[in-house]
Amino acid sequence: MIDPLYALSGFAVGLLVGMTGVGGGSLMTPLLILLFGIHPATAVGTDLLSAAVTKTAGSIVHGLARSIEWRVVRRLAMGSVPATIVTLGFLSILNQSEAARSLITVILGAVLLLTATVLVFRGSIVGFYRSRFPVLDDRGTTTATIIVGAILGVLVTISSVGAGAIGVCVLLILYPKLPMARIVGSDIAHAVPLTLVAGLGHWIIGTVDWHIVGLLLAGSLPGIILGSYVAVRVPEAVLRVVLAATLVVLSVQLVHEHLQSGQSLVTALTRRAPH
């Protein structure tokens, strides 16, 4: 009975992604950890590879619509791909240890809260920076984009979250003259090499469950199609608030379980310690 639940979870997440445009990692990874009890490292790696497939499909659609700014994608990838490789090397040392569990859980919880904040207050955040900071020249914009790509590479490789809402928000600040469609298209296109390199790296490390990847895709792909159809019939502001509230709940639950597991570990070590 577990297999259908994976597909059902994939469908639910795909539905919300289609309706909101936010990457599935912010929903799927916490669900794999909290609902199915999968080790955080395996949850991240498994979600990254399934995300690479869905992002590829999204990129093809945006590419055909000519809504991708390839110079932005190249700049982001110049930072994200090297940062991803370095981060994978660090994670390979930790493997699936308790240290890896703690690191991924804490960073995942923090990035979920940040994503929720960006979802609700994106307009205010972008307006604040645009009104108080001068527009960068092309060289400064290029440098800033590469740095942003590197940060996203680290966050996505560790938590599988960050390339969606956070990436779009930063690109809106750095490229104020680009239309929203090209911002979103460029962000999705950049997510393809990022999630693919990170996902394959997790597979090499041994933190990917291919069976679960297939089940998630079986549910998420039709879910995204249906969600995209329903999105035009539901107010975007309502969707963003609902999703943000969901992310906050998931973040709090992750931190709570992390603290509980930490207490259990300390108790076990205390009992084993010689008197």
Grouping H, G, I as helix, E, B as strand and the rest as coil, residue 2 is helix
Pick the most confident of 70-79, 92-101, 237-246, 250-259.
70-79
Would you give the DSSP letter of residue 222?
H
User: Among residues of the chain, what percentage have pLDDT more than 90?
Assistant: 28
Residue 32 has pLDDT above 50, yes or no: yes
State the residue range of the domain holding 133: 2-272
Q: Which token pair is 158? A: 């560790």
Residue 22 has pLDDT above 90, yes or no: no
CA gap 22, 160 in Å, rounded: 12
CA gap 184, 266 in Å, rounded: 45
Q: What stretch of H or E contains 70? A: helix 70-94
pLDDT at position 201:
94
Other CB atoms within a 10 A radius of the CB of residue 221 amount to 17
pLDDT at position 63:
81
Q: How many domains in the chain?
A: 1
40-57: burial string, b at 16+ Cβ within 10 Å, e else: bbbbbbbbbbbbbbbbee
CA gap 257, 204 in Å, rounded: 28
Rounded to an integer, the average pLDDT of 20-34 is 78
Residue 268 has pLDDT above 50, yes or no: no
Q: Is residue 197 a contact partner of residue 84, using CB atoms and an 8 Å limit?
A: yes
CA gap 252, 105 in Å, rounded: 11
pLDDT at position 87:
95
What is the DSSP secondary-structure string of 173-189?
HH-TTS-HHHHHHHHHH
What is the DSSP secondary-structure string of 235-262?
-HHHHHHHHHHHHHHHHHHHHHHHHHHH
Residues in the chain: 275
pLDDT tens figures, 175-220: 988 888 888 888 888 989 999 999 999 999 998 999 999 999 898 8
Rounded to an integer, the average pLDDT of 241-256 is 80
Rounded to an integer, the average pLDDT of 52-61 is 81
Rounded to an integer, the average pLDDT of 90-105 is 83
CA gap 99, 13 in Å, rounded: 28
